[in-house]
Amino acid sequence: MKRTIRTTALTVGALIAALGLQAGPAHAEITAPRIDLRVLLVSDGGPATDAIAAELDTAGTPYTKVDLTQAGRPTIDAAFLADTVDGRPRAKYQAVVLPNDNPFAAGSAEMTALADYERSYAVPQVDAYTYARPEAGLQYPVYGGYSGSLDGVQAQVTAAGEAGPFGYLKGAVPFEDNSPTVGESYAYLSTSVAGADFTPYVQAPIPGTTKQGSLVGEYRHDGRRELVVTFVYNQYQEQFRLLSRGIVEWMTGGVHLGAARNYFAVHVDDVFAADDRWDTKLNCTPGDVDCTNDEGTPSPIRMTPADVDHATAWQSSHHFTLDLVYNGAGSVDQRSDNNGVDQLADKLVADRNQFRWVNHTYTHAFLGCEQNTTVVPWTCETNPDGSTKWVSRSAIDNEIATNRVWGHLNGLPLDDDELVTGEHSGLKILPQQPQDNPNLAPALADNGVKWLASDNSRDPEQRVVGPATTVSRYPMNVFYNAGTASEEADEYNWIYTSRAQGGSGICEDNPATTTCLPAPLDTSTGYQDYIVPLETRIDLGHVLANDPKPHFIHQSNLTEGRLAYPVLDGVLDGYDALFTDSTPLVNLRMKDIGTELQRRATWRTAVQNGQVTAYRIGATVTVQAPSGIAATATMPSGTTQSGHAFGTAYAGATSGWTTTTGGTLTLTLPSTAAATAPSATAHRKAPAATRPAPHAKVPAGVTEQVPYTPDN
């Protein structure tokens, strides 16, 4: 993708003057500066700088944080910002992030040092959230602008933004409006000061006018470049997640350590089995230990051949592949009960190559402790000596191996090193089972399992279990025991309404993870009108957060009312409406997700421990990392490593993991990525000014929702 960068290269004479070097004869060799690939992030403790820090953390981009609220923080002066290494001038930071355009007192020596540094080394500055004012290239909002909420407003990327750092977006930048009673997005909308060199990249209509006001724009002045952001945000909000990639692209010039992509994978558990159905009269699921059924068991929920046709057609139309997580005993039982007939299994086996397949154990047995289900909640059985009675190694072996054999006999294209246990059992489950079944790890070794699924709501961090490494999965809040929209809404009401409203009171008892509904949902419309939009927003939030963890649903969600599809459509169609074809969703299988998470964790630890150094001199990027650690980076298209193309194309750049690990790695930038810097035509020093009070409004209560899910 061609990018228009509104900068001009420094002349040789201007570069010499900017770096304070002595001019020599015209033919003398010029020493190019070394620019370290590290960001300086100056924080005031606000949500905007915290959001940018979170983006850098997730991507694996090194940064140094200076917290202005902390006593004893380092002083930002010339020595803090630059020095000389091996006779070569060194800029210690490739970009500067400030909480606003000038967070220091009037006449601050620190702001002067930063401004001089930015001019000398062509280092850009991001104003994470600033008041619209002439010092930032904008008119005060009182002069035909706007100050206030942008909840529900759809901003737009400008032509300059699409040609520049936000070229991965189709144009629309919707601002969230999740609650009619909570202000979520505060902004200043304004136009540029007359004569200012200001280019809006993202803008929105100024209420009551026909004008557009800038929300994100580039201000060039006094030999410096600033990205001026005039709306407040936190790391979870969609508008920030849409723009965060472009903010990093702009401030690093597209050359930085770390990488970000948008991932989505969906596991469908219990395939071939049947799932128990929610009883709308008993408000429980017959078969569960807490459900006493005196009125007959509702029919179980199981897919049909028509559902397989629907799934394959849906996949084809969305260019997306589902992961079917299967229990072979479900088909064996079906054939036993129906004179050898299982039309669902016949259809799935015939269409097996349309899907990815994952072992879910043969019978979906619980593989942790032996459960005492005579009490509610259940407890672990104990041995005579009081120790926990565990499911045996041989029983776990049998569940894994038998299902694998069944899958291979039916020609399923399996990766034998992947496993999802029933209910993620065998792993710790609080409060009843605070440790893993000690027989689990040996059984995993017996069966060559390297990747083991865990429930992100219980066990979110990747960890090692014997020979295996966990892959946390997000539970989608579409219940496994509901086949129709009315059943889903009825169970949702039971969980998420107060006792006074006829609910279970779970939401009252667990306020940290659930929020009570203000009133019960209409069971005829509640699923489509309330649950689907909420779950879509949560899942799309994961996608936009550079988070590769898979989501999981159940086979029951693909039949009868086919409840999963409205959510999946919302995520995929919503994504397609926002991003260009250069930024496709990355749909990985489980082991590849595990590998990505594992690499990230190793890389993140090395970065946080100061074991990674990277810098750019001209068109050469040098990375030094500990032995055995692959480095991750984002570079311009055409970058090479050892003469071979580096990375893969994504969002108009190239990114990925280096092909070698540890030691000193060298990347060569393409000739089109020649160093650029602000024009050296303006040498006046920006006048010091006292920053007006911004009257910033921090988004209230907008955080990641942790859904409550019944046992699955």
Question: Which DSSP string corresponds to 482-513?
Answer: --SHHHHHHHHHHHHS-GGGTS--HHHH-TTT
Rounded Cα–Cα distance for residues 127 and 285 (Å): 53
pLDDT of residue 24: 39
pLDDT bucket at 30, cuts 50 / 70 / 90: low
pLDDT bucket at 413, cuts 50 / 70 / 90: very high
Q: Which tens digits make up the pLDDT trace of 476-518?
A: 999 999 999 999 999 999 999 999 999 999 999 998 888 899 9
pLDDT at 412 over 50: yes
Question: CB under 8 Å to 622, separation ≥6 — which residues?
Answer: 614, 615, 616, 664, 665, 666, 667
Instruction: Please compute the mean of the pLDDT values over residues 636-648 and round it to a whole number.
Output: 95
Instruction: Please compute the mean of the pLDDT values over residues 178-204 and round it to a whole number.
Output: 96
Instruction: Please compute the mean of the pLDDT values over residues 174-198 and round it to a whole number.
Output: 95
pLDDT bucket at 40, cuts 50 / 70 / 90: very high
pLDDT of residue 72: 95
pLDDT of residue 674: 58
pLDDT bucket at 83, cuts 50 / 70 / 90: very high
pLDDT at 198 over 50: yes
pLDDT of residue 498: 95
Nearest residue to 242 via CA among 55, 504, 110:
55
pLDDT of residue 448: 98
The alpha carbon dihedral of 229, 544, 61, 31 has a sign of negative
Q: Which tens digits make up the pLDDT trace of 552-583?
A: 999 999 999 999 999 999 999 999 999 999 99
Q: Considering the chain, what percentage of its residues have pLDDT values greater than 90?
A: 85
Rounded Cα–Cα distance for residues 434 and 455 (Å): 15
Instruction: Please compute the mean of the pLDDT values over residues 291-308 and round it to a whole number.
Output: 88
Asked whether 324 and 564 are in contact (CB, 8 A), the reply is: no
pLDDT at 294 over 80: no
Most confident region among 23-27, 295-299, 680-684 by mean pLDDT: 295-299
pLDDT bucket at 289, cuts 50 / 70 / 90: confident
Instruction: Please compute the mean of the pLDDT values over residues 369-393 and round it to a whole number.
Output: 96
pTM summary value? 0.90
Which is more confidently placed, 118 or 3? 118
pLDDT at 92 over 60: yes
CA distances from 287 to 248, 278, 283, 598 (A): 51, 10, 13, 38
Q: Which tens digits make up the pLDDT trace of 646-682?
A: 999 999 999 999 988 888 999 999 988 754 433 333 3
Instruction: Please compute the mean of the pLDDT values over residues 85-112 and round it to a whole number.
Output: 97
Which is more confidently placed, 710 or 690? 710
Instruction: Please compute the mean of the pLDDT values over residues 47-55 and round it to a whole number.
Output: 98
Burial of 392 (0-12, 13-18, 19+ CB in 10 A): middle
In the numeric block, the tokens 């949560």 are attached to 538
Q: Which tens digits make up the pLDDT trace of 136-177?
A: 999 999 999 999 999 999 999 999 999 999 999 999 999 999
Instruction: Please compute the mean of the pLDDT values over residues 84-104 and round it to a whole number.
Output: 97
Asked whether 430 and 458 are in contact (CB, 8 A), the reply is: yes
pLDDT of residue 701: 40
pLDDT at 29 over 60: no
pLDDT at 691 over 90: no
Asked whether 30 and 16 are in contact (CB, 8 A), the reply is: yes
Nearest residue to 168 via CA among 202, 191, 207:
202
pLDDT of residue 703: 41
| Average per-residue pLDDT for the chain | 91
pLDDT of residue 481: 97
228, β-bridge pairs: 127, 217
pLDDT of residue 3: 36
